[in-house]
Structure 1
Amino acid sequence: MRIKREKVSSLVLEELKKMIKSGEFPYNSKLPSETELAKMFGVSRSPVREALSVLAASGLIESTQGGGSWVREVNLAEMLEHVQFEMVKVQQVQDLLEMRTIIESEAAFLAAKRYKPQDIVDLEEALEAFRKASEDQFKIGYEEDYAFHRIIVRAAYNPFLTQTMENVSELHVKSLMFSLEKNLGWEEKRKEVFTEHVNIFNAIKNGDGIAARTAVIEHLTNTRIKLGDKRVSKQK
């Protein structure tokens, strides 16, 4: 099965979607390797890798370090009909993370000063949910991550901050899927991300706005570095 080379990654993506939808690659099954798929489509591995990244970011497949890619057990027909699959561009994710760093670090600073008791309860529950997701090697954990950060912004009690983040919520979720997917199979990396969340939580709970701001900046900066953003460096 050879396909035209114009917009190769997009064409590979469409073919993979069709094969998943038709059941040729059923849920809970392991996909062929990048090399095997490249040979199947008559293309190089690069467009195959890019197409797989989009499927992973869209939640249709899960990839594990050294374990290949697996089709997730979801309502594939509904997803493939109604979800708009877009090619994820790393630069766009990096730019979004830069904006999140600016907004969420200040939101965390304010949350440490303004939070109400229920906010801490909700934040602790979200942290526990993220811990459980982090310990599941087949779970990306983007929903749990999003919930945690959303509560922080809410706890700042500034409606403009809240609305600003709501306006980019879809992009926020997609970027989390894209970045966290890269930690699948890397237990140490997943532990590091969870620890960063714990640091943010403790600083807010302790009412330490400066520490909360610093913890958020460190967390999101590390994510940007992981995605190859040359505009930032490791926080000291």
Structure 2
Amino acid sequence: MIDKVVVGDLDTNCWIIRAPGTNEAALIDPGAEPDRILQAVDGLDIRAIVLTHAHYDHVLAIPILTHQLKAPVLAHPAEKEVWQHELAHLEEHGHFDAGTATEDLLAVGRPPRATGQLWDGTVDRPLQDADTIAIGELEITVKHTPGHSPGSICLAIEGHLFTGDTLFPGGPGLTGAQWPLTSFEAIMRSIRGLLADTPDETQIHPGHGRDTTVGAERPHLREWATRGW
């Protein structure tokens, strides 16, 4: 069973994957609003908190959730540098970098900041490409997909891909010279590899916004490469 809680100032999709026939579950990208997330997982045994990447809008609820749920945090080790960069930006500017949404949030008096304790960056289990995460009898496969960040990962179960900010309906996640630690060339390589042998009917669950399918996105790879974003 797959559920979603949309949280925070960037409407981040926090995903809950429950193993069939059990109350064991994984929590993906707890970006904010820990009280709402805790309500959504009430009665579940959260076996892992998995990060597709470490941008602030995917991690801010971690301190409260790890305290309440006693669940380990899993992420790619390359995201340590990403979180350090996020904290450095916060210290320098007084707010996080919300990408293309930053100016709009500042204009309406909603600077992207944390309202409580910040995550200390602790990862209990580093993840690498092709690792698996067992939730009951459900097996989640890790796919390392750098580009939006060096340690971005996607998570695969049969019929479903959780793509974080690597792939959305209409193209790849944010990259560009003004955003350190990103690479358009890398994200396109990652997306080509991700979609190469994945059936068209596979559902894509991104880090923000609506779902799509592999079949809907695959035909546009050349178009995205040409436009450069």
TM-score range, shorter chain: under 0.3
Larger Rg: 1
Higher strand proportion, which one? Answer: 2
- With normalisation by structure 1, the TM-score equals 0.24
